[in-house]
Each structure stands twice: as structure tokens, then as C-alpha cells.
Structure 1
Amino acid sequence: MADSQLECLRDDHVNKKVTEDMCQFYYSEEHRRCLEVLFQRGIQGYREYVKEYNVRGFLSTKELIDLKDFWKEYDIESETSKKSKAKSNKLEQEPQEEKDSLQYWPEKSDTEIPPLDLGWPENGFYRGVSNMLVYTHPPKENAPTIKAVIRDLIQTAKKVIAIVMDYFTDRELFRDVLDAASKRRVPVYMILGEEGVKHFLEMCEMMQLSSFMLRNLRVRYVTGVGFYLPYGKISGSLTHKYLMVDGEKVAYGSFRFTWSSLRVDRSIMTLLSGKYTEPFDIEFRELYAISEEVNLYKELSLPDYQPSPIGARARSSTVARKLINPKYSLVVGRSPAPGEMLRFGSPNHPEAGEDGKSEGEKRMDKFLDDLVSIEQESPGIVNLVDLPQSLPIKKETGTFTENTLSPKTSKKTFKLFSFKKRQNPLLGNVVEGDFVVLNKPQLESDNSRRHSNIDLMSSGKSSPTKSEKVKTPEKCIIS
């Protein structure tokens, strides 16, 4: 049981009356009776009832007029006639079909939740740097106008644009939205008030739009919370006014997307970024789930042009990797736009076939069956005897045999490894191959011996004595 029910079962519990002076005051039975009198007898009957029963007047003249406009009676006769006709047709066509029980089945819900088919960014826990700026109209010193800030947000959007507005009739802002949706392929979602839909469609007709401009644009409308009465319902209106860009920036305030609001009226706008945008993200998705569709193609008499995404076609895994890899964007000619990446990444539940499996599941089963059924051939075994042997080398000369080498290699190798002794007649040096052999005398350490050799050479003697003879020169090789 609920806490309020458990509290009522206590012996010491006394029902507290919530008066108008208390902050918890929200619903009043007296107010509900006054509204019934308003819709049955009119504004004059409402005022007479308030005076007669001494009820505080809680509605102004403008509110009385607006509530009369929002009032809608239940069309019970048409609904019962439609249900009776549908039941009679079902009984005639399927007389033996079993009736469904009164149990709740989620699979057989009355309405489906509209999906964000163009994609929605998953920002996770981090949404950028958290910041807050306030703009006013007329602007402060050295500050831009509200309209300039809004246009800059729309023109720099890359992932998604989400607009919640009661009235949208400014053509300059809508032109920026169309450029982002058609030229840059950014998904655009718009939620309008029910009363503002007709004015929005009037603007679209005057701008002479094409079906190509509307392919990445989704427009829906919602009403207020409403107030239900026995004879009808007060629908209410949407008063949300905010713009969300890429799930990271939100501009909200008292402005409207109309020329008079952004030029004539006094308004204020707060620009939020970072973690402050998360409540607006959640609120937009909840509003989108309860909203109703506005078919622009039907309302503007345009051909329905909704191109199928690239990912919908059956492709092999190799081609899919190439489409994802940015390296292959040079071959394709362009990189996919952010809107297309979001659309292709969003989960689209494929339709199941007769056997209950989708095309993707069938292809995966076939791929796995091929892996099991294909016979793999083992590589051939090579004997070591069949491998080529290394070239034989002679130990005596240290050269390769001429039979095992080709003519070009044998000639080149012969030049490298042959040794021919030749003598230079001018220098008297012995040359062996590519090496020059010089005569290097051995220097003696005794100084007296060195001086005696110099004296003998200076005196003109042709040859020194045996004791003074220079030792035999040693060969020094200079490479």
C-alpha cells in the first residue's frame, strides 16, 4: 500500500485540510465546480456563481477567454458509432475468433512511441565544459542580440538540433534550420504547440519549400497537461521555449521564434552548456514520445521523399569496414555527414520473415554454416632432398668453381678473388692485386747508430759496413 493509505489507517491520524494559504495547495474541488459552471453557463454565469457561493475569484478575464478556446467536449456519439461498426465488421469477417481478455498486454498497445529515426547523440556522463551565460533584448553593452546567438548555434550545429517552441514563424531562423538539415544533413527535431502548427504551416507555404529540404526534418506537436471534466477537457498549451544543439548547448528563456518577439518585445535568454543540458535532453525525449505527428509532405502537397539509408542495403563485411574507415572517403569522394552517421547508427529493428528470423540473422547463420562446412586443405609437405643445395667452395684457392656460376658472375668473381703480381717500374714497389706493397725501413733506437749512418751517407761512401748495415726492410701493406 501507498504511504498515504497506511497513514490513513492509523488511529492517531487526522486529515489535514490544505488551504489556499499553504504552499502545498494545488487542487480544489471548488475550482472544479467553477470551471463546470463556466463551460455550461458562460462567463456571466461563472461570475454569478462565484458571488453566490462566496468563492475567491481565481481567473482573470483573459484566462476565461483562453479557457473557453481550449475547451473541447467529448464526442461520445461518434466514438460509440465507430466502435459498433468496427465490432460488427469483425464479427462478420472473423466470427470464430476468440476475444481478448481485459488483461494489459504491452505488445498490443494503442499507440506506438515515435522513434528518433534520424538519430540522437549519446553524450554519456561528460557533456563538455559547464557554463552559463545570460543575454537580454535589447542587448547590453558589447553583447550580441538574442537572435544572433540563436542563429550562430544553428549554423554551427554538427550532431543534432532540437527545438521546442510554442510559435515558430521567423523565416530567417527557419532558413538556417533548413540549410542545416538539407545541406549539412544535420537531424532536426521540432516540437510545436498545437495552436502554433497552423501558423508554422502558413510560413512554410509562403516560403515555397521542396521535398528535398524536408528530408532531415521531423515536426510534431503537443498540448498542455489538460484538465479533465465530466463533459469535456481543457487541452492547455505548450509554453516551453528552448533550443538544444548537439546535446551540449541549450538556449532557453522568454523569447519566441517570431520576428516580433526577437525584435520588438523585451526578453531574456540563458545559454547553458555541459552538465546543465541533461534535464533538457530528458524533457525533450519525453515530449517527443507523447507528441503527435505533423506530416509536412501531406500538409504542403509535396511528394514524400525519404531516402533509405546506405546501411539498409545488404553489404559484405569487407565493404562495411571500408565505409566506416575514413581512409576510403577519398575513393567515395566525401565523408558521411554527422546526421547520416547518427541515422545509420540508430537501432532499426528489421522485420522478421515467415520463419521468425530477419535477413541479418539469416545471413549470419549462413556465414556460420559456411565456416563449418567448407573443407580446409592442409599444406603440402616438402622433402629436404628436393631443396636446392648450397654452392660448393674449393678450400685450396678460396674461390667458387666456374661450373657452378653463371658467365657474368664467374667473370666478376674472378676479378675480385684473383691475385696478380705486378711491379711499378717508376716506384719499384710490388703490387699484388689491389694492394700496394712499400719498402719500410726499420728505425733503430740507438742515437749513435743513427748519427753514424748520416755521416757515412754524407761522406759519399756507397755502402755501409756490415755492422752499420740497415736491417732488411719489412713489407707494409697500405690498403
Structure 2
Amino acid sequence: MADSQCMCLRDDHVNEKFTENMPEFYYSENQRKCLEVLIKNGVQSYRQYIKEEKLTDFLSTKELTDLKSDFKKYETESPKKSKLLSTKQDKEESLQYWPALSDTEIPPLDLGWPENGFYRGPSQVLVYTHPPKENAPTIKAFIRNLIQSAKKVIAIVMDHFTDREVYRDVLDAADKRRVPVYIILGEEGVKYFLEMCALMEPSGFMLRNLRVRYVTGSGFYLPSGKVRGSISHKYLMVDGDKVAFGSFRLTWSSLRIDRNIMTFLSGQYTEPFDIEFRELYAISEEVNLYKELSLADVRPSPMVGARARSSTVARKLINPKYSLVVGRSPAPGEMLRFGTPSPPSSSDKGESEGDKRLEKYLEDLINIEQEVPENVDLGNLPKVAFRTNKETGKVTEESRTNKSPKKSRFTLYKRQSSTQEKEAEESFVIINKPTQDSSQKNNFSSHQDLRASGSTSLVSTKSEKIKQNKCALY
């Protein structure tokens, strides 16, 4: 049971009243009547009504002018009314509810959104001011470094955005690094943002990975219309795990002249900002930069199989427990990296593209002759020739594997052409040979003379045996 339902069951909740001195005081019927008088008759009638009813004046002079200018009447006639209602129903207004026509579709995050899950990295809180403190960067430098280091997504919520240097960093991230960029502006700041874009003259390809929308305040509803209000959010989110928010605006005067404070959050602290941004994006209105700047629209086509959901359903699907219903969203920049898929086309029969592919696949299974893979006879394969050892007659281990033979621990070099260095067989000479005394040299020279004459000695010296053993090791 919801908390509001449980509260209604309590005995002390019946006819509960909140006065102006209580913290729970939020809505007042007297204040609503004062706003109606202000919108209909003006400021003088508003002040006179307050004196007559003996109410407290709760609005300043600036608020009186702002509320008067933010008021907007309801649209009495719908553009689809002539198509939906017959001529008989046009004479008398219908009170029937049309949910399929009254609810609006949500704008999709078609460029992708990072899936951070339950863990968003280490949590951290830092505070920066302008003018900066000792050994601390300025707020503008910190924001630009944050944008230039973005890899997954950049999400900006700002009432006014006119700083050209920051906007150039945003365009570089969207165009060169293909980072998805979403910008939500206040309704009053849209015209100044478009003025800045027109002066910078960006190309259509630089804007293809950028989405700009605007929102108004929560508003105050009156019988004749609505006071729209404005947005006061000012924060920047990068990669879903870093957020910078504060009193600053992305304008030159705010980042250079005004005094501001900024708080940097990372890790789990960024989750409320993530949810808030997606809720604002779901209720926002589009700002078509290609149409406003007179550029060719080069944005990618809608995703294949994407379903349009209403704004009410979309706000529910933001909750993590509905992630299985939504399914996996495309990776950031995936639409631009892997091509532009064509939108799903439907024929006269109402068949979708997926149904056509399935039907064609089933027809191919029946009509096309399937190719059976060829069975290979292992007996007909060519045999591998193994190298055998002449002494043992066994297959050596080096022939079975492709491993290279082990290197000898001795460093050997080819024999020189001198006849005096014939100390070992098979044309190799040991470099580090032992020193010989005079008696050993005489014995060695006598053996050389015997070998040259064709006769060998039956008795070998001790030094010669050592040399033969070393050659055998090789």
C-alpha cells in the first residue's frame, strides 16, 4: 500500500490543515485565487484583492512581471479534431478519453546511454569556487577538462549555454571522438543558443552526434491557462559516473565575472542525476538544429525494431527493476560506428521486415538444396616423415614437435683456415680451450705428425680425452 493511502487511514489525518508557520505548508487556495486575479486584471487588481481579503503579499515585483509573462492559455482546438470526430460531434464537445491520442511518445536516447549497473566506481566529492582557491583550477578549466576526457556520453542541463569555447569542446567530442552528446536547455535560452550556433557555422556532420532539446518548469495550472515557469538545473554529467553541478552557467560572463561555486561528484553519488536527466529528456521538446540553421539533415535513421513508448511508461522504465523489459540499449556511438540502418518498412498487408525475413528463411529451407559437408577419410591423408636416429633407430623428439632444439651451453664458432687450430672434429673449434704447458704441446705435436703420416697412436693422452668428451657433448 502506498504511503499516501496509509496516511489517509490514520485518525489524525482527517481534515488536517497546514498553516504558513508549518514546514509542510506548500499549496494554498488563497494564493491560487491571487494568481488568477493577477493574470486576468493585472498587478493593481492583485494588490487590491490582497488588501480586501487581508492576505499576506507573497510575490515580489520581479515575480509579478515574470509570472505575467510566463502565462500561456490552453489550446482550445486540437489539429486532429476534424479527422477524429464526425460533424455531429463537432457541435458538442465530447467528454470521452482517448488515451492513444492524448498521450505523447517519448524521445528516444537514440545515440546510446551507458549501462553503469549498481557500481559506478569510487565515490568522491570535491568543491571548486570562482575565483579559485590556492592551487585549484578555475571552474571553466575543470569543465573543459571534463568534456575533453569524455568517452561514453556527455549530458548537459543548463538554462543558458552561450560559451563558445565550451561549445567547441562539445563539438569536438561529438564529431572527432564520436561521443554521444545530449543537451537540455531552458525555453528562454534556446534562441541565444541558436544565435551562438549560427555565428560558429558548424557543418551538418559535426551535429549528427548531438541532440538538443528544451524544457519548461513544473508550472502552475489555472482554469484559463498555465504559468509555465523555467528550469534552474545547472549540471554536467560525463560517462554516467562524473557530475559537476552548482550555481554557474555555461556563459562567458558567468564563468569569468560572476562568483560561483561548483561541486564535483563521482561514483554512486551520480545516480540521482542520471535518473533526473532521463526524466527531463522524456518530457522535453526537440530543437531541430538542421532546420533552424538551414543545414542538410545527415542524422542516422531510426533503429531497426525500435518501439515508441509513451512518456508515462518511459518514466516507469527508468527504474532499474524494469531493465529486463526494456532490454539492452545500444552502446554509445554505435549507430554511427556501424553504419546507418534503414527504418523498418511495412507493406500493404501490415507485415514487418522481421516477418518477411522469417518467411524467406523458411522457404529457403524447403526449396534450396542443402549442401552436406564432405566426410574426410583420415587414411588417405599424407603421412609425415619422421627423422630417425641412426644409432638408436628411434624417432627423435624434435621431429614430433615444432620446437627448436636446445642450444648448447658452449659457445662454438667455425674453424679458421689455419692448420694449427685442428683441435676438434667436424670443423669446429672450442674457444675457451685450456692452457697447455710445454710437455703437453710436445705430445700434441707428435700426435699431429702421426695423423699426417696416416698412422694413429693406440694410446691417447689425458688432454685429448677431455677434448673428445667436449665434442661429444655438442
**TM-score tier after normalising by the smaller chain length:** 0.5 to 0.7
Q: Partner residue of 2:372?
A: 376
Are 2:18 and 1:18 aligned?
yes
- For structure 1, the residue ranges without an aligned partner over 5 or more in a row are 93-99, 313-337, 391-397, 399-423, 430-436, 441-477
Q: 1:396-452 deviations in whole A, cap 9, x for unaligned?
A: xx9xxxxxxxxxxxxxxxxxxxxxxxxx995656xxxxxxx9589xxxxxxxxxxxx
Q: Partner residue of 2:82?
A: 85
Q: Using the alignment, how far apart are the partners of 2:115 and 2:278 within structure 1?
A: 13
Letter in 1 for 2:138: T
Given that 2:301 and 2:341 are in contact with CA atoms closer than 8 Å, whether structure 1 keeps it comes out as no
Instruction: Give the superposition deviation at 1:360.
Output: 5.3
Q: 1:305 aligns with which of 298, 301, 318?
A: 298
Q: 1:146-203 deviations in whole A, cap 9, x for unaligned?
A: 0111111111211111100001111111111112112222111100001111111111
Letter in 2 for 1:243: L
Change (3 A) 1:249 1:37: same
Given that 1:120 and 1:342 are in contact with CA atoms closer than 8 Å, whether structure 2 keeps it comes out as no
Letter in 2 for 1:341: E
Given that 1:119 and 1:346 are in contact with CA atoms closer than 8 Å, whether structure 2 keeps it comes out as no
Q: 1:270-292 deviations in whole A, cap 9, x for unaligned?
A: 01111111111111111001000
Aligned pairs (5 A) from 1:218-233: 218-233=211-226
Q: Partner residue of 1:113?
A: 106
Are 2:139 and 1:166 aligned?
no
Change (3 A) 1:101 1:48: closer
Q: Partner residue of 1:31?
A: 31
Q: 1:154 aligns with which of 136, 143, 147?
A: 147
SS at match of 1:230: coil
Instruction: Give the superposition deviation at 1:121.
Output: 1.2
Q: 1:277 aligns with which of 270, 295, 309?
A: 270
Q: Using the alignment, how far apart are the partners of 1:387 and 1:281 within structure 2?
A: 64
Q: 1:250-301 deviations in whole A, cap 9, x for unaligned?
A: 1100000111111111110001111111111111111001000001111112
Change (3 A) 1:129 1:53: same
Given that 1:119 and 1:343 are in contact with CA atoms closer than 8 Å, whether structure 2 keeps it comes out as no
Letter in 1 for 2:227: I
Q: Using the alignment, how far apart are the partners of 2:40 and 2:281 within structure 1?
A: 34
Given that 2:178 and 2:209 are in contact with CA atoms closer than 8 Å, whether structure 1 keeps it comes out as yes
Given that 2:113 and 2:332 are in contact with CA atoms closer than 8 Å, whether structure 1 keeps it comes out as no
What percentage of aligned pairs have identical amino acids? 64
Instruction: Give the superposition deviation at 1:346.
Output: 12
Instruction: Give the superposition deviation at 1:377.
Output: 5.3
Q: Partner residue of 1:288?
A: 281
Q: 1:242 aligns with which of 235, 248, 271?
A: 235
Given that 1:255 and 1:262 are in contact with CA atoms closer than 8 Å, whether structure 2 keeps it comes out as yes
Aligned pairs (5 A) from 1:117-132: 117-132=110-125
Instruction: Give the superposition deviation at 1:74.
Output: 2.3
Given that 2:152 and 2:179 are in contact with CA atoms closer than 8 Å, whether structure 1 keeps it comes out as yes
Instruction: Give the superposition deviation at 1:224.
Output: 0.3
Change (3 A) 1:132 1:348: farther
Instruction: Give the superposition deviation at 1:3.
Output: 6.4
Q: Partner residue of 2:255?
A: 262
SS at match of 2:268: helix
Q: Using the alignment, how far apart are the partners of 2:338 and 2:164 within structure 1?
A: 32
Instruction: Give the superposition deviation at 1:215.
Output: 1.2
Q: Partner residue of 1:217?
A: 210
Change (3 A) 1:426 1:202: closer
Supply the RMSD in Å over aligned alpha carbons: 3.9
- For structure 2, the residue ranges without an aligned partner over 5 or more in a row are 89-93, 305-330, 386-392, 394-450, 461-470
Are 2:198 and 1:201 aligned?
no
Q: Using the alignment, how far apart are the partners of 1:158 and 1:300 within structure 2?
A: 27
Number of aligned residue pairs: give it. Answer: 364
